[in-house]
Amino acid sequence: MKFRPCIDIHNGSVKQIVGGSLKDAGDSALENFISEQDAAFYARLYRERGISGGHIILLNPVSSPYYEETKRQALSALKAYPKGLQAGGGITPENAAAFLEAGASHVIVTSYVFSGGQIQYDRLRALVKEVGKEHLVLDLSVRNRDGRYYIVTDRWQKYTSVELTAQAFDELSEYCDEFLVHAVDVEGKSGGIEKPVAKILGDWGKIPITYAGGVHSFADLDRLKELGKGRVDVTIGSALDLFGGRMAFEEVISYMDKA
């Protein structure tokens, strides 16, 4: 299990939000933390500590009046840590290469591939053709519906018909280098991990997977390590002291060194 850092950018600022609260209308969200530092500050910190493979997420849609400032923040972070971070949010074949050229190691995609509630394999193949499987991360962010976990898109607002299963992982892993899975129902709430999701990830575990959502204690990390069988990486947002939480960044790094 490795620690994967994050930089979430909304309305031009580095923030931590309650994931399920994000709305396109008015670019609104319930905010846990708004940083006084810019995205490049965090990128330099992660670079200095040698922590790679984290993700930058642009939380505004391209249509938002805030998108250009959010994008500017993302590009400044990529410049500060070339090839050390991944970038996601509104990625398409038309703009994916630009983020890679700006310094992203990978691009992260959800909504473009899972359009209309289904996996759009023509779009997925177009992305692979444009950037290569080795530069593509699929974000399989999920929400619970009737006891099952379904992939959600459009800043976690729309359900798809695609359930998080071993079969889905098997099919989609043919097209990507890694998976990023946000457990949206607990994202930003610092109330504990979504245990069934962690177990699904650990039971599969054939390529790198990063879990995000609800981590608020070292006991959560212990549980994730157990359920994930040591092969699921983790990102920590609102609970980290860098973002106003109680889990000390340095202690997390020490924990991971011993994991």
Select from 86, 8, 97 the least CA-distant residue to 53. 86
Distant-in-sequence, close-in-space partners of 25: CB < 8 Å, separation ≥ 6: none
Residue 132 scores a pLDDT above 90 = yes
Residue 18 scores a pLDDT above 90 = no
- pLDDT at site 22: 53
Tell me the percentage of the chain whose pLDDT exceeds 70.
92
Q: Measured between alpha carbons, how far is 109 from 89 in angstroms, rounded to an integer?
A: 7
Q: Measured between alpha carbons, how far is 9 from 16 in angstroms, rounded to an integer?
A: 8
Summarised one tens digit per residue, pLDDT across range 191-240 is: 799 999 999 999 999 999 999 999 999 999 999 999 999 999 999 998 99
* Confidence bin at 65 (pLDDT 50/70/90): very high
* Confidence bin at 158 (pLDDT 50/70/90): confident
- pLDDT at site 111: 87
- pTM of the predicted model as reported, rounded to 2 decimal places: 0.91
More reliable by pLDDT, 175 or 22: 175
Q: Strands 158-163 and 148-153: what pairing?
A: antiparallel
* Confidence bin at 188 (pLDDT 50/70/90): low
Summarised one tens digit per residue, pLDDT across range 101-116 is: 999 999 999 889 988 8
